[in-house]
Amino acid sequence: MKKIITISREFGSGGRTIAKEAAQRLGYAFYDKDLIEKIAEESGLSREYIEAHGEHAPGRTYFGYAFVGRDATGNSVGDYLWKVQRDIIEDLAEKGNCVIVGRCADYILRKRTDCLHVFIHADMEKKKERIVKLYGETGASPEKRLKEKNKTRAMNYKYYTDRTWGMAGSYHVSLDSGLLGEERCVDLIVGLAKDL
């Protein structure tokens, strides 16, 4: 039985939905937006700030970020947020039985042996279909929206973990939700969490 499931996912892959369903089926706590609120409470940073920057610390303003907004010790607001977030994830894992989505949780909890680390991805066509269905059309093409958001996730992950985002070796299981479908992904994750 694995007590903690971390689910990392490409934007548009349905990974968050899969994570939520897996948590329900396992009777595990689910941390995503709730986690953001918890971070906000404990860090004193505004919720709006965290929602905008929580997974996008270096983001498109990478160079600006590196040189402005640092405190006397040289830490940026993003670095501070990272540390708060890391501590909270470690605490949640200590409490056990939970599914944590995103936020480099796979890396933060890499030394624990009671985790199942999962990555969910899908091909471009499936991701395009999904975001247009869920969020509608915007000024930017679906492909551009996907590329930008996933590039930002990759940059953030690299910045804080020094790992390449999406390498199979960082996870115990990686699944193509486009080919497998969401239900089968949930079944596999729940089955492995119980068996291992």
Q: Which is nearer to a second copy, 155 or 188 (CB)?
A: 188
Q: Which of 10, 79, 106, 182 contacts a second copy by CB under 8 A?
A: 10
Does 196 participate in binding a second copy (rule CB under 8 A)? yes
CA distance 107 to 71: 26
Strands 115-121 and 98-101: unpaired
Does 166 participate in binding a second copy (rule CB under 8 A)? yes
Does 129 participate in binding a second copy (rule CB under 8 A)? no
189 dihedral zone (left: phi>0; alpha: psi -120 to 50; beta): alpha
CA distances from 95 to 2, 16, 149 (A): 13, 21, 31
Q: Which DSSP letter does residue 28 get?
A: -
Q: With contact defined as beta carbons under 8 Å apart, do 121 and 146 qualify?
A: no
* Segment contacting a second copy by CB under 8 A, of 23-31, 40-48, 134-142, 177-185: 177-185
* Least spacing, CB of residue 76 vs a second copy, in Å: 29
Q: Which of 11, 82, 119, 160 contacts a second copy by CB under 8 A?
A: 119
The residue ranges that bind a second copy (CB under 8 A) are 10, 119, 121, 164, 166-169, 171-176, 179-180, 184, 188, 192, 195-196
